[in-house]
Amino acid sequence: MGKFLEKLRRGKEKLRSSLAAARAKREIKAAINEQKRQGQRQKRQRREKIEATFTNIAAKREEKEIEKREIQREKAFEQRAVKIEKKELAIAKVREAQLKRARAEAGIFKARAQRVKAVQSIRRPLPSLNLGGPIVQPRSSVTGFGPTTQKKGKKKKRPMGFSQQPTPGLGRFRVL
């Protein structure tokens, strides 16, 4: 019987030792797994940190690009405004020149008309050329006979482009 008990005890010890070994093995595996997890966690954190810095850099870059675009847009707007201003100035100058030209032409027409009027008032047919007919004189704008005379007072100003044809009943060379 002693041998049997001895075997039993040895078997128990072996069992205990094997259980202890298995427990130790499990603990070692768990420790290794924990270390692996910690390493992966650290890697992930590092990766996230790097990604965060990259995204931060990208965001800053994007902000700079947006600012650049805004500045360019403002410059373009200012340039457009300057162009429009220059155009308007040029148009105003051209209009002014046209107005001056038109006024000058109107002045020339007036002077021409006055010259014609003066010539008409001077030019009277000679009695010898009439061959015995009545003496013909140009009609006066006021009485209907006698030389034409200019009316006293200022002439009414008409808008530009008004026709400059002689008006009936106001003498032959009256300019509007």
CB-based contact 175:167 (threshold 8 Å): no
At position 166, the amino acid (one-letter code) is: P
* Per-residue confidence band for 133, with pLDDT thresholds at 50, 70 and 90: low
CB-based contact 148:171 (threshold 8 Å): yes
Structure tokens, 124: 């009277």
Residue 5 placed within a domain: no
Q: Going along the chain, which residue ranges are E strands? A: none
Residue 162 placed within a domain: no
DSSP state of 70: H
Report how many domains make up the chain: 1
Residue 115 placed within a domain: yes
DSSP state of 130: G
Residue 83 placed within a domain: yes
Rounded distance between C-alpha atoms, residue 149 and residue 171, angstroms: 9
Expressed as residue numbers, the domain containing 71 is 48-124
108 pLDDT exceeds 70? Answer: yes
The reported pLDDT for the residue numbered 104 is 85
Residue 73 placed within a domain: yes
What is the rounded average pLDDT for all residues in the chain?
Answer: 77
**Using CB atoms within 10 A of its CB, is residue 107 exposed (0-12), middle (13-18) or buried (19+)?**
exposed
pLDDT digits (tens, 9 = 90+) for 55-96: 888 899 999 999 999 999 999 999 999 999 999 999 999 999
Residue 95 placed within a domain: yes
At position 44, the amino acid (one-letter code) is: R
Residue 15 placed within a domain: no
Rounded distance between C-alpha atoms, residue 54 and residue 35, angstroms: 28
159 pLDDT exceeds 80? Answer: no
Average pLDDT over residues 34-61: 91
Residue 52 placed within a domain: yes
